[in-house]
Amino acid sequence: MSLTFYWYPNCGTCKKAKKWLDDNGLDYETIHIVEQTPTEDELQQLIHHSDLPARKFFNTSGKKYREHNMKEKLKDATEKEMIEYLASDGMLIKRPIVTDGTKVTIGFKEEQFTEIWI
């Protein structure tokens, strides 16, 4: 099974997730989430396969989230608007995102990775 690993190399959580993938011998392609921000269509697919609301894809602890006052903007935003925001700036996206095309994980929790990716 080959995975797609959306990450930001300076992110500590991403580094932990990458180490876990390497330690478990999983095959994956890395995509720099800022340099190659997922498109609206890609985000729509990721959200659909995650079974999570679009709101969960926001990096709520990030500087860009605060700078853009996203907390207020998201209160009344539609899913389409949320996807447009996410596609506009990779730093707004919670990371890492791992997918095999049918399953998706956001962030890194070792138990969740073990359950889903092994």
Residues of the domain holding 39: 2-117
Lookup: tokens for 5: 């690993």
Who's near 79: CB < 8 A, 6+ residues apart? 47, 53, 54
Reported as a single tens digit per residue, the pLDDT across 47-74 is 999 999 999 999 999 999 999 999 999 9
pTM of the entire predicted model: 0.95
- pLDDT number for residue 66: 96
Helix (H) or strand (E) holding 3: strand 2-7
Q: Distance between CA 6 and CA 28 in Å, rounded?
A: 10
Q: How many domains, the chain?
A: 1
Give the CATH number, domain containing residue 105. Answer: 3.40.30.10
User: What mean pLDDT is predicted for residues 69-95?
Assistant: 97
